[in-house]
Structure 1
């Protein structure tokens, strides 16, 4: 798993809105802190740094992030979904990207 000094003590990857997640596999969410879908189960971990806010969410509660959203200080944003395929392969698929204010 990729680690980032941006998240001390956490194994979340250091990515930005322009990142390609082609080589990024499953990302484990060990300690979610928010219940983003209101079902009573913690499923999301958010970080806010000097350059961006990142929101990692595990909607199916299997411990692996299903979605990640990034909004950068300059307005760039992106979102990805994690897909597992029947053949055992997996990939992150970009679902949105742009710049706020345009």
Structure 2
């Protein structure tokens, strides 16, 4: 993943509704959800949700498919995993960063030796 792609993905996630929508789509798995069901879960209008989903689409974090008249959105897990790998490689020196206690990247830094 390149810097601009990572910045686009992080920018798309940098809004509470888009972050909530992405979490719902990740939890829904490949089946995905309609904009109306995402909006109902978050508590905003379907029109507002469609606006936010477009940012996630542009960033490549979600994909859409049509079933009849309905549009289903689902998370692009490969894009999510690429973003996580990019952050791990570029900010943690390739070491897994631990959410508990001291991060592995801090433990591997020269200051901790």
TM-score by length of 2: 0.28
* Higher alpha-carbon Rg: 2
**Greater helix content:** 2
**Greater strand content:** 1
Structure with higher RCO (Cα < 8 A, 6+ apart): 2
TM-score by length of 1: 0.30
